[in-house]
Amino acid sequence: MRFIFLTLMTAILVVFLNPVAPFWVVMIGIGVLSALIYPNGIGGFLGGGLGMGLTWLGQSIYLGITTASPLPDRMGELMGLGTGMTLIAITGVVGFLLGAFSGWTGVLFRNLLQKTPKNVYRG
């Protein structure tokens, strides 16, 4: 349940914060959000990654369709990737990686701050 909540909150954060702030501010926000929601390690990694990656992918497709701009195709040709859809897919993968490592960092930061009991037999 925390994984789904983190994914949805990450997507909402990216949609509203990305137009006004650079990507690294959004990454800090995902880390803080992940530390507050406190999923397990893989949940934080995948929740942050899916939230940011799918949002970047969706925004890229939406902007490409609504503006009908030839820019993605031209940039894809300049980079030697072929079509603009390849460039959009790479944007989604980069968004996934940035969000995933941000979410994982938030989980690890929360684990770092938690107090562990001392002198307790853990068998």
pLDDT tens for each residue of the chain, 123 residues long: 889 999 999 999 999 999 999 999 999 999 999 999 988 889 999 999 999 999 999 998 998 889 888 888 888 888 888 888 888 899 999 999 999 999 999 999 999 988 777 777 765
pLDDT computed for residue 2 by the predictor: 87
Secondary structure (H, E, C), the chain: CHHHHHHHHHHHHHHHHCCCCCHHHHHHHHHHHHHHHCCCHHHHHHHHHHHHHHHHHHHHHHHHHHHCCCHHHHHHHHCCCCCHHHHHHHHHHHHHHHHHHHHHHHHHHHHHHCCCCCCCCCC
pLDDT computed for residue 30 by the predictor: 95
pTM exceeds 0.95? no
